[in-house]
Amino acid sequence: MLKSPKKNRRRTLLWGFLSLLLTWPLLRFVRFKIPVKPKKVHITASPSSNGVILQKDFILFSRNGRHWALSRTCTHLGCTVNYQETEDILECPCHQSRFQIDSGKVIQGPAKRPLPLYAVEKSSTDTGYVVTIEG
Ligand code: FES
C-alpha cells in the first residue's frame, strides 16, 4: 500500500525538526571548542607623553621599551574601563573595579578576573604597533 505524499512530507519535516533539535546542542558545543583566529590590529598613532594609546577595545601602553595592551572590557559585567592618569590604573565606571596597568590584575572588585592582556609588536612597515587580540 502506498503512503500519501502529504503524509511523507509531514514525516520528513518531523524528522528534520527532531534531528535539528537533537544536534543543536552538539553543534553549539563543537562551535564553542573551535579556536577563533587571533585578530591583528594595526595602530599608527603615537603614544601620549604618559605612554598610553587609548583605543575603543583596548589600551596600549608603551613605556621603557616595553609594549603591551589590555582589553577595555571589564571582566565583571562588560563595561568599558577607563585609564586614570592620576593613579596610573584602569577603573570601571560602572561598579568601580580597579585594575593594574602592567598586568590587568584586579586591585579592587567586584571584578574577580584580570583584564585580558594582548601581545604588542612594533610594526615593521611604519612607526606604529600591531596588537594581537586572541579570540
Ligand atoms: S562592570 Fe565593571 S565593575 Fe561592574
Give the CATH number of the domain where residue 123 resides. Answer: 2.102.10.10
SS3 at position 44: coil
Tell whether the model's pLDDT for residue 32 goes beyond 70. Answer: no
Between the CA of 58 and the centroid of ligand 1 the distance, in Å, is 16
Tell whether the model's pLDDT for residue 49 goes beyond 80. Answer: no
Residues 82 and 28 occupy one common structural domain? no
Tell whether the model's pLDDT for residue 31 goes beyond 80. Answer: no
Residues 96 and 125 occupy one common structural domain? yes
Between the CA of 88 and the centroid of ligand 1 the distance, in Å, is 18
Q: Give the ligand 1 atom nearest the CA of 93.
A: 2
Q: Give the ligand 1 atom nearest the CA of 75.
A: 2
Q: Which of 75, 81, 95, 112 to mutate to test the pocket of ligand 1 (most atoms within 8 A of CB)?
A: 95
Residues 55 and 26 occupy one common structural domain? no
Residues 121 and 63 occupy one common structural domain? yes
Q: What is the pLDDT of residues 106-124, one digit of tens each?
A: 999 899 999 999 988 887 7
Rounded Cα–Cα distance for residues 131 and 135 (Å):
13
Residues 50 and 20 occupy one common structural domain? no
Tell whether the model's pLDDT for residue 2 goes beyond 70. Answer: no
Residues 100 and 124 occupy one common structural domain? yes
Q: What is residue 3's predicted lDDT score, i.e. its pLDDT?
A: 65
Amino acid at the residue 4: S
Residues 45 and 65 occupy one common structural domain? yes
Q: What is residue 124's predicted lDDT score, i.e. its pLDDT?
A: 73
28: containing domain = 1-32
Rounded Cα–Cα distance for residues 4 and 16 (Å):
19
Residues 108 and 46 occupy one common structural domain? yes
How many domains does the chain contain in total? 2
Residues 9 and 67 occupy one common structural domain? no
Peptide bond into 110 cis (omega under 30): yes
